[in-house]
Structure 1
Amino acid sequence: MTLADLLDSALVQPGFDAIEVTDITLDSRKAGPGCVFAALPGVKVHGRQFAASAAERGAVAVISDAPIDGIGVPVIAVEDPAALFSFMAAKVFPGQPEHVVAVTGTNGKSSTVEFLRQIWVKAGIDGASLGTLGVTRGHEREVTGYTTPDAAALQKALSALASEGVTHLAMEASSHGLKQRRMEAVNLKIAGFSNLTQDHLDYHPDFEDYFRSKQRLFTERLPVSGTAVINIDGEWGVKIAQSTRARGVKTLTIGWRGEDLQLLEVVPRPASQSVAFNWGGETIRMEVPLVGEFQVLNAILAAAIAFEEGLDRDLVIAALQSLEGVAGRLEKVGETADAAPVLVDYAHTPDGLDKLIRAARPHTRGRILVVFGCGGDRDPDKRSKMGAIAEELADMVIVTDDNPRSEDPADIRRAVMAGCPSATEIADREEAIFHAVTELREGDCLLIAGKGHETGQTVGDVVHPFDDREVGARALKAREASHV
């Protein structure tokens, strides 16, 4: 494949048809012979600073938003180099599953795409999910490290899945990925929306920019021939539904206020929930083996997408009744001898923490204990808000470190404690979890929030091995041993 093959004719210059291209990257360290380097503007630095290094490593061309002199290889300067990077990556790594569903929202993306994948499996469809948890197919999972990988990594993953016979893919669409044009070359059939609350304001200048980035999935990425499936329980879902209808896109709405799939009733059980919803004028009742109303909303979003795809109704209902929880999402790691459970969840936003504690309350006879912290180099405005939510809704709160990254962990904890002054502060996360487990009584429930499925804790530039689930299990074992 030549450089000319990767570009529209208007961008082709003399000699481009003689330049062979075998790879494309935005990481100059991975550039080599036959590679195109994308020098894109970043949050902290511009990729043009690394263009010369990429050329020295063997890059045969560079794409950017402005000319770059003196690097010895062609520079293709366009107004939107991120979009060009995506389309070029799709040609370098051709092929993708024929049926791609993308789901966006602040919370619920991971669960929804995984639930949809499980429904497909029940229907005998070779499907996969891609997102925060990685690429999941069958019983195998490959960790990617990003909710929406960069365009080259994404197209490479899509190409590999298609070559392996995967026909259906459910993927998460992050606000970063949408704003940075990572998904520009993905051919979408259906787009889903879960909810929108405060998050990522360290990256987005304001909430409106955050919303517009999410909305791009429906106003720019989803073709008019596609279908939008939207939870309209919040004002932002209503706005997105209005925008898709204005474009002439087929739009289904779900939720307590849903017009197409309306949730009618959710009754909590010890380890499940009785659910009733209306679809097509018929009331459907079932037992869903999940804890938390928000998980029901994720499940019915997946169900509505499956219904729209034409899957058999009875098969979808049967799949909903056998759903397996998603890693790090209200995941039970064990319980005390008195049956007080320890649950790990990824909740790391004010809304996520609020929903987590409220979800656990109907299943808990005694107290709710919460261990959580906030990440460094991320939206500082949410820290005291999360502290206030924990103070109001939980019975015992322990504030600890999350992923402090480059910030002083004590400063982060201090900001959180401003919202929950009566909380206990224990800096060491393992010590905090062990302490919380020793405090459990019969009927209590411990929620360890913020990191979920993560297996590392980032302090400075170093990622230390750390898994809330593993630490929680060890704490329970230590408690049991001490009570013998």
Structure 2
Amino acid sequence: MKLSELIEGTGAQIQGLDVHIKGLALNSAGVEQGFLFAAVAGVKTHGIQFLDDAVSRGAVAVLTDADNAAKVTEKNITAVISANPRITLAKLAAKFYQPAPATIAAITGTNGKTSGTVFTRQIWQQLGRKAASMGTIGIIAPGWTEDSGLTTPDVINFHKYLQKMSKLGITHVAFEAGSHGLHQHRIAGVPVDVAAFTNLTRDHLDYHGTMENYFDAKLILFAENLKSTGVAVVNSDIEFFPKLKELCSARKVRLITFGLGKSDIQIKEMIPKHDHQMVTYSVFGKSYKVRLPLIGAFQAANIACAIGMANGSGEDIDSIMPCLETLEGVPGRMELVAKAPSGAPVFVDYAHTPDAIDNVLKSLRPHTKGKLAIIFGCGGDRDPGKRPIMGKIAVENADYVIVTDDNPRTEEPAKIREQIMEAAKGAEEIGDRAKAIAHGIASLGKDDILVIAGKGHEHGQIVGKTVLPFDDADVARKAAIQLKGVA
């Protein structure tokens, strides 16, 4: 594709030859002969520092800002100058890597994104659509699974994935739109047919600084990506709902609400059972009683969101509701991985924020006849303010708490645990996560429940700069078997 054709309508300017572009790269290591290299400002470094490497690998054009354009042209390479190179790159990627699936749905929020996308994909598939989901646990599509590495992949890979899906005949895709990805414009230029908002609680303040900034990043999905003919699906119970409603009204997009309070898709009743729950939904005024094969109030809410997303994409409610009874849980999301020798269930969950810990424990409490136990820690090099908050929530909602390590990264693990323990009075501290899990399982009586929180689907423990192999589910299964339990 000619460079002039590629940048048409973006506002960017060419300084140099109108070269033919064979591909795009954001990382200089990914440059091949004939590629355009995007030298954009990152969180820690600027891509222009890797200009020489990109040119040596065959870059014929470089997208950058006006301040760095001369560094490009002095190497006799065409410069593409933009006031906002990240947004321009997103537009170029959307244009270069075509086509994309016909129906695109995105979901944002602090918790529930993965479950929402996976449940929506499963509903679509049951209704005969060729569908995919993309997010924290990777890409799941008919005949194709792949670890995409991030909640929202970098902008070039994101569009490559959409193009591959379309070539595979996939017509529907639901993806997670994380706040980092939205703020960094990784999905700028992606026209979204359905945009959903699950909830907003404290997380990523090490990056965003304030809850207002965090919310504003999430809002980009509705302000910029959602089509004017699109549908917004929003949790009407959350504090920020009035602002979302105001935006949707201003843009004149259809709004579908869900939640415990009065809403289009209202959770009227939840009756917990041993391994499932009976949930009554009121959907646009019609009552549906459903046997959900998943436990926890938060799962009922995630499914309510998925109902809205499927309906917003054009599916009929009476067709959607029977699909719910055969939904399968998401790996690492309230996943039953083992049973203790006493028969007590052991769950693994990705809960790693104050709100998520609170939701998981409150969701498990109605299913617990004995003691409710939790094992958790807090990540290093991340918002330290949530550590005592999570400790306090844990001891207030669980009967037995073990504080352990969870991706300490470059921080001293004992210091992280100390900050949690300050507010977790009565908790037990076991730094070694594997030993903590084995100890927790061994302590369970027949009517108890244990949840191992924080990692969910992850397969590593980050210590320093090294990712050590570690899988909560595998460790729990091995511990249970060694203790003569069941996995």
TM-score between the two structures when normalised by the length of structure 1: 0.96
Match of 2:173 in 1: 169
What residue in structure 1 maps to residue 397 of structure 2?
Answer: 393
Q: 2:193 aligns with which of 186, 189, 193?
A: 189
Give me the whole-angstrom Cα distance separating, in 2, the residues matched to 1:337 and 1:161: 45
How far apart are the structure 1 equivalents of 2:428 and 2:408? 18
Correspondence for 2:223 among 215, 219, 226: 219
Cα offset, 1:44, TM superposition:
1.7
| CA apart distance, 1:14 | 6.5
1:362 paired residue number: 366
Q: Does 1:3 align with 2:3?
A: yes
Q: Retained in 1: the 8 A contact 2:134–2:173?
A: yes
In the alignment, does 2:421 pair up with 1:414? no
Using the TM superposition, name which of 329-338 and 61-70 deviates more. Answer: 61-70
Shift of 1:2: 2.3
Specify the alignment match of 1:269 in structure 2. 273
| Partners of 1:122 and 1:315 within 8 A in 2 | no
| Partner residue, 1:152 | 156
Counterpart-to-counterpart distance in 1, 2:15 and 2:271: 68
Shift of 1:229: 0.9
- Equivalent AA in structure 2 for residue 344 of structure 1: V
- For residue 40 of structure 2, give the secondary structure of its aligned residue in structure 1: coil
Contact 2:15 2:80 in 1 (8 A): no
Partner Cα separation in structure 2 for residue 138 and residue 293 of structure 1 = 30
Deviation at 1:85, TM superposition (A): 0.7
Map 1:278-297 onto structure 2 (within 5 A).
Answer: 278-297=282-301
CA RMSD of aligned residues (A): 1.6
In the TM superposition, what is the alpha-carbon distance from 1:63 to its structure 2 partner? 1.5
Give yes or no for contact 2:389–2:423 (8 Å, CA) kept in 1: yes
Q: What's the CA shift for 1:82?
A: 0.7
- In structure 1, stretches of 5+ residues that fail to align are none
Tell me the alpha carbon deviations over residues 37-85 of structure 1, each in whole angstroms, 9 at most, x when there is no partner: 2122222222222223222322222212333233412232322111111
3-state SS of the aligned residue for 1:13? strand
Q: Which residue of 2 aligns with 1:240?
A: 244
What secondary structure, in the 3-state scheme, does the structure 1 residue paired with 2:229 have? Answer: coil
* Deviation readout 1:209-258 (Å, 9 max, x if unpaired): 10000011111211221110111111113321221112211111111124
2:313 and 2:8 mapped to 1: Cα distance? Answer: 34
Please tell me whether residue 377 in structure 1 is matched to residue 378 in structure 2. no
Q: Does 1:40 align with 2:44?
A: no
Letter in 2 for 1:468: D
Aligned length: 481
Q: Which moved more, 1:145-154 or 1:300-309?
A: 300-309
Corresponding letter in the other structure for 2:324: L
In structure 2, give the amino acid aligned to 1:66: A
- In structure 2, the residue matched to 1:351 is 355
Q: Deviations over 1:410-445 (max 9, x none)?
A: 221111112213211111111111111111111111
Deviation larger for 34-43 or 159-168: 34-43
Between 1:158-167 and 1:261-270, the stretch displaced more is 261-270
What is the letter of the counterpart of residue 411 of structure 1? K
Note the alpha carbon deviations across 1:157-197, whole angstroms, 9 max, x for none.
Answer: 00000000000000111111111111112121111111000
Distance in 1, Cα, partners of 2:71 & 2:246:
49
Indicate if the aligned counterparts of 1:135 and 1:143 stay in contact, CA closer than 8 A: yes
Task: Select 2:146's aligned residue among 105, 126, 142.
Answer: 142
Give the stretch that moved more between structures: 410-419 or 123-132.
Answer: 410-419
Deviations 1:307-334 (A, max 9, x none): 2333243331111011100010000001
Q: 2:23 aligns to what? A: 23
> 2: distance between equivalents of 1:310 and 1:168?
11
Tell me whether 217-226 or 110-119 shows the greater mean CA deviation: 217-226
- Aligned residue identity for 1:325: G
Structure 1 counterpart of 2:126: 122
Q: Distance in 1 between matches of 2:3 and 2:349?
A: 46
When structure 1 is superposed on structure 2, of 118-127 and 218-227 the one drifting more is 218-227
Deviation at 1:471, TM superposition (A): 0.3
Tell me the SS of whatever aligns to 1:76.
strand
Alpha-carbon distance between aligned partners in 2 of 1:379 and 1:25, rounded to the nearest angstrom: 31
**Which residue of structure 2 lines up, in the alignment, with residue 13 of structure 1?**
14
**How far, CA to CA, are the matches of 2:203 and 2:177 in structure 1?**
14
Pick closer, same or farther for the CA change 1:43–1:421 going to 2, 3 Å.
farther
Distance across 2 between alignment mates of 1:336 and 1:348: 24
Which has the higher mean CA deviation after the structures are superposed, 259-268 or 153-162?
A: 259-268
CA distance in 1, matches of 2:165, 2:412: 41
TM-score w.r.t. structure 2 length? 0.95
**CA distance in 1 between partners of 2:143 and 2:118 (Å):** 12
